[in-house]
Amino acid sequence: MASILILAEHLGGTLNPATARCVTAAHQIGGDIDILVLAADPAAVATDAAAIEGVRKVLTVARAENQHALAAVYAPQVVAAVQAGGYSHLLAPSTTFGKDVLPRAAALLGVAQVSDISAVDGAHSFKRPIYAGNAIISVEAPADQVLVGTVRTASYAAASSGANAAPVEALALDVALPTHTRFVDLHQGRSDRPDLQSAARVVSGGRALGSADNFAIIHALADKLGAAVGASRAAVDAGYVPNELQVGQTGKIIAPELYMAIGISGAIQHLTGIKDAGTIVAINKDAEAPIFEIADYGLVGDLFKLVPELTAAL
Ligand SMILES: Cc1cc2nc3c(=O)[nH]c(=O)nc-3n(C[C@H](O)[C@H](O)[C@H](O)COP(=O)(O)OP(=O)(O)OC[C@H]3O[C@@H](n4cnc5c(N)ncnc54)[C@H](O)[C@@H]3O)c2cc1C
């Protein structure tokens, strides 16, 4: 039977919901599911992790060096935890965090990582998107090695939370940590709006907005809907919004219940980021725009007229 260790993603003492999505993927693999929290003070995150349904136990490593999530510092501890617990699987979300830490852990374990798991076919067989989501490949990993995998969080709902109270155990790992990488500073966009990656509703604007000032109409609609704001790469490259708002192949992969694409043509690299969205609404003045091929609802017209009307109506 599989025994699965999930590396918790957290920031500022709060567990990222991506971790609970990993738990859902782990349920499909089957077996015991434990969560590893590395932090300077892991107590609050560990309590959140212990509440996730289906988690057997939470392991914590409290070290001052774990104050900030540095992949070079985390990876040897993760590997030591995997080896100490004899785990068959190590998972983390396929977010910037997971993509940073897990390849290092895989390298230290001497195994190849399975990236971006979007479906579980068996304990060592998975599906994952390739060619910007244009094709799905089946991957068979060796069963005699630790399976290291990142989970495409947009493909999994978060495991429910609250009913569980798994035991929390402090791990004492004797691991020498590298000093060649150190934390300097964290520059983070500040916003009162929901987080783009976990928001239930997202309103995105494209090149058609024409300027950063014009993006105000996207913000106004988003605020009416309680939605996060996203953007196409063209809008980001033009400097209308910061790059952490980019949705798509080289941006965020998201799965909101409602996605509104406004003045966005629907290039394949953008659509890759919203493949798992629930309802897709498009506003575009070109009735032939490819976005209408995947939209559930489409409005053909000038966004500068339609969006303020929609916002007012809401
Ligand atoms: C390797 C690679 C990776 C990429 N990664 C990404 C990615 O992660 N995310 C991403 O988004 N793109 C990505 N791209 C770029 C992608 O190919 C497109 O160039 C980009 O998505 C286009 O952005 P857009 O739809 O805003 O602009 P455009 O394609 O220029 O579309 C603008 C749309 O607005 C409509 N429009 C214009 N004026 C109005 C108006 N007044 N009212 C209503 N509609 C109007 C037009 O009809 C048009 O459909 C990538 C490209 C490459 C090569």
Q: What is the DSSP string of 49-111?
A: HHTBTT--EEEEEE-GGGGS--HHHHHHHHHHHHHHHT-SEEEEESSHHHHHHHHHHHHHHT-
pLDDT tens per residue, range 118-145: 999 999 999 999 887 788 999 999 999 9
pLDDT tens per residue, range 241-298: 999 999 999 999 899 999 999 999 999 999 999 988 999 999 999 999 999 999 999 9
Q: What is the DSSP letter of 178?
A: P
- Whether 93 is in the pocket of ligand 1, judged by its Cβ within 6 Å, is no
Q: What is the DSSP string of 254-287?
A: ---SEEEEES----HHHHGGGTT-SEEEEEES-T
Taking Cα atoms as reference points, which of 61, 3, 63 lies closest to residue 34? Answer: 3
Q: Please give the pLDDT value at position 281.
A: 98
The whole-chain average pLDDT of the chain stands at 95
- The gap from C-alpha 44 to its chain's centroid, in whole angstroms, comes to 21
pLDDT tens per residue, range 208-238: 999 999 999 999 999 999 999 999 999 999 9
> Quick one: tokens of 314?
């809401």
- Whether 286 is in the pocket of ligand 1, judged by its Cβ within 6 Å, is yes
Question: What pTM did the predictor assign?
Answer: 0.84
Q: How far apart are CA 248 and CA 53, in angstroms?
A: 31
Taken in order 63, 69, 70, 72, is the CA torsion positive or negative? positive
- Model confidence at 185, in pLDDT bands (50, 70, 90)? very high
Q: Is 80 exceeded by the pLDDT of residue 203?
A: yes
Q: Please give the pLDDT value at position 142.
A: 97
Domain spans of the chain?
Answer: 3-170, 201-313
In the reported structure, the alpha carbon of residue 231 is separated from the centroid of ligand 1 by a whole-number distance in angstroms of 9
* % of the chain exceeding 90 in pLDDT: 90
**How many CB atoms are closer than 10 A to CB 74?**
25
Taking Cα atoms as reference points, which of 62, 95, 68 lies closest to residue 181? Answer: 68
In the reported structure, the alpha carbon of residue 208 is separated from the centroid of ligand 1 by a whole-number distance in angstroms of 8
Domain 3-170 matches domain 201-313 at the CATH topology level: yes
- Model confidence at 42, in pLDDT bands (50, 70, 90)? very high
Taking Cα atoms as reference points, which of 36, 59, 12, 58 lies closest to residue 190? Answer: 12
Taking Cα atoms as reference points, which of 267, 261, 273, 266 lies closest to residue 307? Answer: 261
Q: Could you say which of 1.10.3720.10, 3.10.580.10, 3.65.10.10, 3.40.50.1220 is the CATH number of the domain covering 201-313?
A: 3.40.50.1220
115's enclosing H/E stretch is strand 114-117
> Quick one: tokens of 264?
């966005």
- Whether 251 is in the pocket of ligand 1, judged by its Cβ within 6 Å, is yes
Q: Is 90 exceeded by the pLDDT of residue 197?
A: no
In the reported structure, the alpha carbon of residue 284 is separated from the centroid of ligand 1 by a whole-number distance in angstroms of 11
Length of the chain: 314
Taking Cα atoms as reference points, which of 208, 268, 260 lies closest to residue 229? Answer: 260
The best mutation among 250, 254, 299 to test binding of ligand 1, ranked by most ligand atoms within 8 Å of the C-beta, falls on 250
- Whether 109 is in the pocket of ligand 1, judged by its Cβ within 6 Å, is no
- Model confidence at 45, in pLDDT bands (50, 70, 90)? very high
- Whether 207 is in the pocket of ligand 1, judged by its Cβ within 6 Å, is yes
State the amino acid at position 88 in one-letter form: S
Task: Spell out the CATH class of 3-170.
Answer: alpha beta
Q: Please give the pLDDT value at position 187.
A: 80
- The gap from C-alpha 121 to its chain's centroid, in whole angstroms, comes to 21
Is residue 221 within 8 A of residue 260, CB to CB? The reply is yes
- Whether 265 is in the pocket of ligand 1, judged by its Cβ within 6 Å, is yes
Query: Which residue, judged by its Cα, is nearest atom 49 of ligand 1?
Result: 265
Please state the atom number of ligand 1 nearest to the C-alpha of residue 265.
49
Q: How far apart are CA 183 and CA 185, in angstroms?
A: 6
Phi, psi (degrees; rounded to nearest 5) at 103 = -60, -35
- Whether 241 is in the pocket of ligand 1, judged by its Cβ within 6 Å, is no
**3-class state of residue 143 by DSSP:** coil
Q: Please give the pLDDT value at position 35.
A: 98
Q: Please give the pLDDT value at position 133.
A: 78
pLDDT tens per residue, range 80-109: 999 999 999 999 999 889 999 999 999 999
- Whether 206 is in the pocket of ligand 1, judged by its Cβ within 6 Å, is yes
Q: Please give the pLDDT value at position 275.
A: 87
Is residue 7 within 8 A of residue 151, CB to CB? The reply is no
The best mutation among 270, 288, 309 to test binding of ligand 1, ranked by most ligand atoms within 8 Å of the C-beta, falls on 270
- Model confidence at 193, in pLDDT bands (50, 70, 90)? confident
pLDDT tens per residue, range 233-249: 999 999 999 999 999 99
